[in-house]
Amino acid sequence: MTTPGTLPDQHAAANEAPPGADLAPHRVAGPRRWWDWVLAADPGLGQLQTGWRTLVAMVTALTVGYAMAEALGIPDMIGMMVAGMMGLMSAFAVAENTWDRLARAILWMPFPYTAALWLCATMNGNRVPQMVLMVAALAVTFLLARFGAIPLVTGMMLFNGMMVGMLAGIPVALVGKAFAVALVSAAAVLLTRLLLCYPMPREDLLRTQRAFVVEARRVADAAVDAVDPDADQERAVRRMDRSLRRLNITTVTIDGRLAQPEVAADPDAAELLHRHLFDAELALRGIGQAVQELTRLPVPEQLREALAVGLVLARDTPIREAEGLQPAAAHIQERAEAVLADPAAPADDVEAAVLARRVGHLLDSLARALHDWLTLGANAVAGKAEVPFKPTVALERDRLPGSAGPTGRALAGATESGWRRAIPYIRVPAHAAVAAAIVVPISDAIDPHRFYWGLVGVMITLFGTNTTHERLRKFGHRMVGTVVGAVLGILLVHLIGRDHVHWTLAVIVAGLTFGAWGMARAYACWVVGLVVALCQLYAMTTPESGMDHLLGERLLDNGIGVLVATACAALIFPLARRTVVQEAERGYVDVLAQVVAQVEQRWTRPDTPVRLRGAARAVDAALLQVQAVAKPLVRMPVGVSGPAAEHRVALLASATGHARALASAADIDVDLPPRLVERARLVTSTVTASLKELDRFFATGEPEGTYRRVSPLLRELRTELAPARSGPRAQRLHTALRELDALDETLAAYAEQAGLPVATGTRAAQRPTTPMQRRTRAVMAAWGEPRPEPRAQPRPAPTPKPTPQAHAPQQRREPAPVSRARVTGRVECAEHPAGCPAWITVISARGKRLAKAAVNQGSYTVEGLPTGTHTLVISASQHTPRAELVSVEDTLEAAPGVVQHDIRLSH
Q: Encode 720-748: b = buried (16+ Cβ within 10 Å), e = exposed.
A: ebeeeeeeeeeebbbbbbbbbbbbbbbbb
Predicted TM-score (pTM) of the model is 0.74
Is the CB of residue 25 less than 8 Å from the CB of residue 206? yes
User: How would residue 431 be classed by pLDDT, with cut points 50, 70 and 90?
Assistant: very high
Give the per-residue pLDDT at 879: 64
The rounded mean pLDDT for the chain is 79
Q: In which order are the strands placed within the sheet that holds 838-843?
A: 849-854, 838-843, 869-876, 882-887
Q: What are phi and psi of 694, to 5 degrees?
A: -60, -45
* 291/310 Cα distance (integer angstroms): 12
User: What residues are paired with 866 via a beta bridge?
Assistant: 820
Give the residue with greater pLDDT, 386 vs 203. Answer: 203
Give the per-residue pLDDT at 878: 62
Give the per-residue pLDDT at 374: 74
Give the per-residue pLDDT at 315: 77
Q: How many angstroms separate the first and last alpha carbons of the chain?
A: 29
User: How would residue 108 be classed by pLDDT, with cut points 50, 70 and 90?
Assistant: very high
User: How would residue 588 be classed by pLDDT, with cut points 50, 70 and 90?
Assistant: very high
In the predicted structure, residue 817 carries a pLDDT above the cut 60: no
Q: What is the DSSP letter of 51?
A: H
* 158/137 Cα distance (integer angstroms): 6
Q: Taking residues 626-649, what's their average pLDDT?
A: 62
* 711/17 Cα distance (integer angstroms): 47
179-217 pLDDT, tens digit per residue, is: 999 999 999 999 999 999 888 887 888 888 888 888 888
Give the per-residue pLDDT at 766: 44
Is the CB of residue 513 less than 8 Å from the CB of residue 392? no
278-322 pLDDT, tens digit per residue, is: 998 999 999 988 988 888 888 888 788 788 878 877 877 777 777
Residues 6+ apart with CB under 8 A from 9: 327
497-541 pLDDT, tens digit per residue, is: 877 778 888 888 888 888 888 887 788 898 998 889 888 888 877
Q: Taking residues 535-551, what's their average pLDDT?
A: 79
Write the DSSP assignment of 93-162 as a string of letters: H---SSHHHHHHHHHHTHHHHHHHHHHHHTTTT-HHHHHHHHHHHHHHHHHHGGG-HHHHHHHHHHHHHH
In the predicted structure, residue 895 carries a pLDDT above the cut 60: no
* 456/319 Cα distance (integer angstroms): 49
In the predicted structure, residue 7 carries a pLDDT above the cut 70: no
Give the per-residue pLDDT at 893: 45
Q: Taking residues 634-659, what's their average pLDDT?
A: 69
Percent of the chain at pLDDT exceeding 90 = 16
Type of residue numbered 863: E
Q: Are β-strands 903-905 and 859-866 bridged in parallel, bridged antiparallel, or unpaired?
A: unpaired
How many alpha carbons fall within 13 Å on the CB side of residue 488? Answer: 19
Strand boundaries in 771-833, DSSP class E: 820-829
Give the per-residue pLDDT at 30: 65
Give the per-residue pLDDT at 696: 87
Give the per-residue pLDDT at 641: 38
In the predicted structure, residue 109 carries a pLDDT above the cut 90: yes
Is the CB of residue 61 less than 8 Å from the CB of residue 79? no
Q: Which of 75-84, 214-223, 558-567, 855-864 has the lowest mean pLDDT?
A: 855-864
36-67 pLDDT, tens digit per residue, is: 778 778 887 888 888 888 899 989 999 999 99
Q: Taking residues 735-740, what's their average pLDDT?
A: 89
Of 289, 282, 249, 385, nearest in space to 666 by CA = 282
Q: Measured between alpha carbons, how far is residue 156 from residues 86, 221, 494, 847 in Å?
A: 11, 47, 34, 51
- 55 burial level (CB within 10 Å; 0-12, 13-18, 19+): buried
Q: Are β-strands 838-843 and 869-876 bridged in parallel, bridged antiparallel, or unpaired?
A: antiparallel
Give the per-residue pLDDT at 179: 94
Is the CB of residue 152 less than 8 Å from the CB of residue 104? no
In the predicted structure, residue 372 carries a pLDDT above the cut 90: no
In the predicted structure, residue 163 carries a pLDDT above the cut 80: yes
* 452/733 Cα distance (integer angstroms): 64
649-702 pLDDT, tens digit per residue, is: 888 999 999 999 999 888 888 777 888 888 888 888 999 999 998 888 888 877
Residues 6+ apart with CB under 8 A from 882: 778, 782, 873, 874, 903, 905
Percent of the chain at pLDDT exceeding 70 = 81
Give the per-residue pLDDT at 906: 67
Give the per-residue pLDDT at 877: 56
* 38/660 Cα distance (integer angstroms): 28
Give the residue with greater pLDDT, 157 vs 233. Answer: 157
* 514/138 Cα distance (integer angstroms): 27
* 324/312 Cα distance (integer angstroms): 12
- Give me the sign of the Cα torsion angle 606, 608, 614, 618: negative
User: How would residue 548 be classed by pLDDT, with cut points 50, 70 and 90?
Assistant: confident
Q: Measured between alpha carbons, how far is residue 417 from residues 423, 534, 626, 876 in Å?
A: 10, 47, 27, 46
Q: Are β-strands 820-829 and 903-905 bridged in parallel, bridged antiparallel, or unpaired?
A: parallel
